[in-house]
Every structure is written in structure tokens, then in C-alpha cells.
A and B are shown apart, each in its own frame.
Chain A
Amino acid sequence: MTNPKPVSGPQADTAEPPAETAPRDGGPVRSGWRMLLPTMTPWLALGLVLIGGITLFGLIGPHLVGDPGQIRDQGLTGPSAEFPLGTTQTGQDVLAQLAHATRGSLQIGFIVGVLATALSAFFGIYGAYRGRFIDEAFSLLSNVFLVIPGLPLVIVISGFVPRESRGLWTIALVLALTSWAASARVLRAQTLSVRNRDYVAAAQVSGERPWRVITVEILPNLLPVIASQFVFAVIAAILGEAGLAFIGLGASNSSTLGTMLFYAQNGFALPLGAWWWFVPPGLIIALIGMGLSLVNFSIDEIINPKLKNLRLHRKRARRAARLERELARASRRSGQAPDTDAPAAEEPTR
């Protein structure tokens, strides 16, 4: 663990690799961030590809397809060259609807994710940092919100708000208000642990202002947790909104995957065997959920101490193997045995 010798003399070459990871040109910030990034695994790559693809589809798709509301007289036709995903009962293009609905769902997910994360960060971190009365009050508030049953409340609120004023933002706000509490509790616990560490005390002693202590000293150490909660909030919001829209309580001014399913259900798509109408939106929801979950598992590798060590071990092993390969290659080229260098190669991978 410790390396009491100064970086000079015979150890100079082993001290090089750490310097490599922290390049001098604007390096400090980057090396800090690098610790927070999960290692690239096939699963993470798959998740990112899924999320990226669906987001691109939601961003660009609506510009490429025709009017999703246009009614034609060729109702309920299967996939064809003209309509790759067929048409609905009233002859609307399912692909066009899907593009707009994906955009709507992602929008809701993103807005709710940001709002819920901001709420939980404020109530969780600020309360825990200040302690005493504010902590008690904030944690009481989040406990109250925690025991409120989410979906029934969402249904009641959505039903209570008149349909005309039930826009995207109303739904997003309702979903955010019912979903921040659990994350706030987790953040509070984490903050209580971080707040008592010596480096926070040291920052206070050196005269940092409270908001700087929170944002610069505490927050970065919570970022993986917050990122994971954000991803989770997005999944929950997309699913929650789909559920609401499916029972007819969705936003009136936007179409989402949930509203598509709602119309498919009302148009008897299932009994009529029109699979092209309800399978695509269902599949997109499932793929979004899958992609975000895969990303979340990778973030979990950073947060979870058990997985974290495993990850560091793997990283170290990979690095040692790479160094060994390079040494072997170098020695093959120069025709020397790498025996003397091999143990030294493993040391700097700490």
C-alpha cells in the first residue's frame, strides 16, 4: 500500500506509470473524473448502443417520417414497403407514430430524471450536511413522501387535473414528486458518512464556505450514486408515464409510447392480431429499460465496494498482463530474457 521511498533513484522507472495516468496538461481534473467512469464491458457497450440508438431514433426519426396523425383509408395493414411497420385502424403510419412517441417518452424520462435527481440531491445532501433541525425536517419530509403510495397518488392527481391543463410538464412534475424520496434517503446516508471524513473537516478548517464544501468536496464522491439514481429515475419515469398513458391519464399534448399502447388497446389490436401496432412501442420500452439497466449495472461496479475491488483487481491484472506482453515483445526484439524486469512491471500498477 505504502511506498515510503521518494520517487527517485532506482525506483524512478516504476514511478512513471502513475504519472502517465495523470497527464500534466490539464490533467488533475481528468484523472479525478476517470475514477468515476465505469470500465468498458460488453454489457456497458450494449447498453450504451441501445440507449444511443433509441435516443437518435427519437431525435432524428420525427423529421424523417410523415405526419403521424394523417388518416388514410387503408386501415390495419401489415408491414409493407410503403409503411414499414404497417398502419393503425384509422390508417395512420405506425412508424411515424413510433418516432414521435419515442421522442415524447424520452422527453418525459429526461425531465423527470433531472427533476427527481435535483430534488433528492437537495433534500438528501443539504439536509445531511447541515444536520440538526434541517436534517430532521428534511428526513421527515422524505419519509412522508416515501410512504405515499406512488402510482395511486399519480392516478388521483392526474385524474384531478383537468384534461386541458394536463400537459407534459404536469405529468413530469407529478412523477418527479412521487419518485425522489427513496434516492434522497440513500443520498442522506451517503452524505452522513462522507461528511464525517477528515477531508471535509480539513476543508472547513481551511476556510471553505459551506456551499463549496458540499459541491466541491462532498458531491464528487457521491456522483456515481447520483448517476445511478438518475438512470433509475429515468427508467421509472418512462414506465410510470407509460402506465399512466395506458389507462388514459397521460399528457394530453404529447404522444408517448404509453399513448400508442392505449390506442392499440382501444383499437382491439390484440384480438385482431395486429401485432405491428403494439409490439414496436412495447419493444422500445423494454429496450430502453434494458439499456439503462445495463448502464446502471456498470455504475454499480463503482459504487458497490465488493464489485469495486473486483474491478480494480481486474484493471490491475489487465495492466500487468499488458506490461508483460510489451516487455516480452521488447525482449524478443532485443533477444534478451525479460526475467529481471518482470516483477518490477507489476509494482506500479497500484
Chain B
Amino acid sequence: MTSVQVTDLVKDYTIRSGLKRTRLRAVDHVSLELTPGRTVALVGESGSGKSTIAKILTRMERPTSGTVDVRFDDGTPVPDAAYRREVQMVFQDPFASLNPFHSIEHHIARPLRIHKRTGTKEETHRSVLDMLERVNLTPADNIAPRRPHELSGGQRQRVAIARALAPGARVLIADEPVSMLDVSIRLGVLNLLGRLQREDRLAVLYITHDLATARHFSDEIVVLYRGRVVERGPSDAVILDPHHDYTKLLALAAPDPERPGRVASDAGPVDRDAIDDGVCYDHFTGRWREAGVPAAAEERT
């Protein structure tokens, strides 16, 4: 079991246009904790920094400042060599995340081989079939030699999940895993993720812009706006009792069976600039604090 403590993550991008350089702060002092068996949903609109956090957690980007501390259950930090084995990611677009040239077997066999989970060829082949069966892709020996274009979006995303779990990952970053899928198969993929999480006691970071699935699927919700955490708390509390203006807006956007009719008209045109991204409501402490400042800073009264 492995847990992740993210503290004061900051990521700046430099934008060059001609000789001018401007700095864009994509992620501003975000702190998170991922623990085994729990799902944290990271909710926010496009450009709010969700994917940047995923990239930093999977070590595709370096943070400008802040720390990502990954530890085993006994408190020892995960060494760099084992990092890729422990922290894995499911990408958003299943049509882009599988190499069209290679078979399904290749996609799952490679992580197994890299992390030395299997030795001989037959052993690898058997493990690949086992992985495919775990993600409900049956008959596995029929699926394995196929190539991605022969599978549907849902099947591909299952392959992507199998690939992420193949190294024996304990921390799973799911970057909008169902947003590119047909509505009819979203629930199936989410339930699969939930089942695997329970079986392996995974720590999951579920990145989404959809509050409805976040509530269904996660224990804790962190709302991100313009790179800052503006609200956090247990899923039900955040969705049923939103405090921050932006979270209220998100909650209104989600369809609600108890409130029929068009929602957009009651919400009216929203003045985006009026949304205050400088404050954050924490449902755990029940208090407002300043957003975009180090976690250790004093809480606002």
C-alpha cells in the first residue's frame, strides 16, 4: 500500500511571445492527500490545472515548487526506481493512448516486463490474459492479439486500465477516464475502476469536470479553479452544501432529478470575474481560508 502527500504544489509555465516573457501559474499551492482505498476527485473546468497536477504526479513535468511525497505503508519513501511501478495513470482519450501499431498484448506485456513482474514468455502471456480478464475483457485470448482499432472505446479504456495496473500500481491517477466514452458505457468503466480499487486498495485520484460522477465515485472532492483549491470536503458535503461561488455554479450545472426544467435560465449569466479565487472553504474544518498560499499559513477566521 502506498500513499501520496502533495504539499504546496506550484507549476509555472513561461509563455514566450517574441522577446516578451510572461509567467502563467497553472497550479497554485495545491495540497492533496491520497491514501489507500480512498478516491479523491479533482474537479474543475478546462485549464484549471487538473491535468498539470496529473502530469506532475506521474513525473512527466517537474513542479516549480512544492513536494510530492510518496511513501509505503511502513513510512519508508518510495525510491525513484520504483516510482513508475507505484504510481500509474489512465489517460483521457482511449483512442489516443494505445499505440495503433501494437497489439493489445504488447501494451500490457511491456509494463509487466519493465517492472520484472514476469520472467518467461509464457508467464508473461498468462499474466496478460489474467489482466485482461480482471478488466472484464473476455475471451482474453481472443482480445490479446488484436490491435486497438479493432476494439470499441470502452474496451480500449479497459485495456488502458489493465496497462496501468499491470506493474502492480498502488496509486492510480485517472485523468477524465470516461469523458471520451459513450454515456452508455461510462458507468461500466467507473464500476470497474471502483471494483479494482476495492480489490487492490488503490489510492485513486479521479480527475473530472463532472460533479455527478465525482459524487458517485469518490470519497472526497477537491474543487480547483484557476489553479487554486477553492473548496474541499467529503463528496456529499461539497455537492449538497457548496459554499464557494464556483462550486455552486458547478453544482447548478449538474443535472438534478429533483429540480426539473432548464437550470441555465435560473442561474442567469454568470459574471466570471466576480468569482473570488482567493478563498477556499474547507468542509473538514468548516472554515474559510486563503487560497493560493502555503498550507501551513494561518487559517482565515
Question: For the complex, what is the distance from the CA of A276 to the CA of B44, rounded to whole Å?
Answer: 78
Q: Which chain B residues in 104-159 approach chain A with CB under 8 Å?
A: 105-106, 110-111, 114-115, 136, 138-139, 141-147, 150-155
Asked if A204 is at the interface (CB within 8 A of a chain B CB), the reply is yes
Stretch of A92-100, A205-213, A228-236, A292-300 with 4 or more beta carbons under 8 angstroms from chain B:
A205-213
Question: For the complex, what is the distance from the CA of A24 to the CA of B89, rounded to whole Å?
Answer: 29
- 1/0 contact trace for B82-104 toward A, CB 8 Å? 00110011011100111111110
Question: For the complex, what is the distance from the CA of A344 to the CA of B88, rounded to whole Å?
Answer: 40
- The total of chain A residues at the interface (CB under 8 A) is 34
Q: Is the CB of B163 within 8 A of A202?
A: yes
Q: Is the CB of B152 within 8 A of A32?
A: no
Given the known interface contacts A2-B153, A199-B96, A206-B163, the answer about A28 and B145 at a Cβ–Cβ threshold of 8 Å is yes
The listed residue with most A CB atoms (<10 A of its CB), out of B85, B99, B154, B184, is: B99
Q: Is the CB of A31 within 8 A of B103?
A: yes
Question: For the complex, what is the distance from the CA of A180 to the CA of B159, rounded to whole Å?
Answer: 39
Asked if A22 is at the interface (CB within 8 A of a chain B CB), the reply is yes
Given the known interface contacts A35-B101, A198-B97, A202-B160, the answer about A207 and B114 at a Cβ–Cβ threshold of 8 Å is yes
Given the known interface contacts A31-B145, A31-B147, the answer about A203 and B96 at a Cβ–Cβ threshold of 8 Å is no
- 1/0 contact trace for B157-173 toward A, CB 8 Å? 00010011011000000
Interface SS majority for chain B? loop
Stretch of A3-11, A80-88, A110-118 with 4 or more beta carbons under 8 angstroms from chain B:
A3-11
Q: Is the CB of B102 within 8 A of A32?
A: yes
Q: What are the residues of chain B within 8 A of A3 when measuring CB–CB? A: 151-152
Q: Which chain A residues in 182-205 approach chain B with CB under 8 Å?
A: 197-199, 201-205
Given the known interface contacts A4-B152, A198-B96, A202-B163, the answer about A207 and B146 at a Cβ–Cβ threshold of 8 Å is no
Q: What are the residues of chain A within 8 A of B99 when measuring CB–CB? A: 199, 203, 217, 220-221
B167 nearest CB neighbor, chain A only: A206
Interface SS majority for chain A? helix
Q: Is the CB of A2 within 8 A of B88?
A: no
Q: Is the CB of A2 within 8 A of B91?
A: no
Smallest CB separation, A21 vs chain B (Å): 8
Asked if A19 is at the interface (CB within 8 A of a chain B CB), the reply is yes
Given the known interface contacts A202-B91, A205-B88, the answer about A2 and B101 at a Cβ–Cβ threshold of 8 Å is no
A34 nearest CB neighbor, chain B only: B147
Q: Is the CB of A202 within 8 A of B103?
A: no
Asked if A18 is at the interface (CB within 8 A of a chain B CB), the reply is yes
Q: Is the CB of A221 within 8 A of B100?
A: yes
Q: What are the residues of chain A within 8 A of B31 when measuring CB–CB? A: none
Of the candidates B102, B141, B155, which one forms a contact with A28 in the assembled complex, judged by CB atoms under 8 Å apart?
Answer: B102
Q: Which chain A residues in 22-64 approach chain B with CB under 8 Å?
A: 22-24, 27-29, 31-32, 35
Of the candidates A4, A199, A221, which one forms a contact with B182 in the assembled complex, judged by CB atoms under 8 Å apart?
Answer: A4
Q: What are the residues of chain B within 8 A of A35 when measuring CB–CB? A: 100-101, 147
Q: Is the CB of A32 within 8 A of B98?
A: no
Q: Is the CB of A22 within 8 A of B145?
A: yes
Of the candidates B60, B102, B136, B142, which one forms a contact with A19 in the assembled complex, judged by CB atoms under 8 Å apart?
Answer: B142
Q: What are the residues of chain A within 8 A of B105 when measuring CB–CB? A: 28
Q: Is the CB of B84 within 8 A of A205?
A: yes
Asked if B185 is at the interface (CB within 8 A of a chain A CB), the reply is yes
Asked if B58 is at the interface (CB within 8 A of a chain A CB), the reply is yes
Q: What are the residues of chain B within 8 A of A221 when measuring CB–CB? A: 99-101
14 A/B residue pairs, CB under 8 Å, sorted by A: A2-B182, A4-B184, A4-B185, A6-B155, A27-B145, A28-B103, A28-B144, A31-B145, A35-B101, A202-B97, A202-B163, A205-B84, A207-B85, A207-B167
When A and B form their complex, which 6 residue pairs have the shortest distance between CB atoms, in order from nearest? A28-B103, A207-B84, A198-B97, A198-B96, A2-B152, A220-B101
Question: Which residues of A come within 8 Å of B, CB atoms?
Answer: 2-4, 6-8, 15, 18-19, 22-24, 27-29, 31-32, 35, 197-199, 201-208, 216-217, 220-221, 350
Q: Taking A31-B103, A199-B98 as given, write out 11 further A-B residue pairs in contact, using a Cβ cutoff of 8 Å, ordered by the A residue number.
A: A2-B153, A15-B142, A18-B146, A31-B147, A35-B147, A205-B88, A206-B114, A217-B102, A220-B99, A221-B100, A350-B150
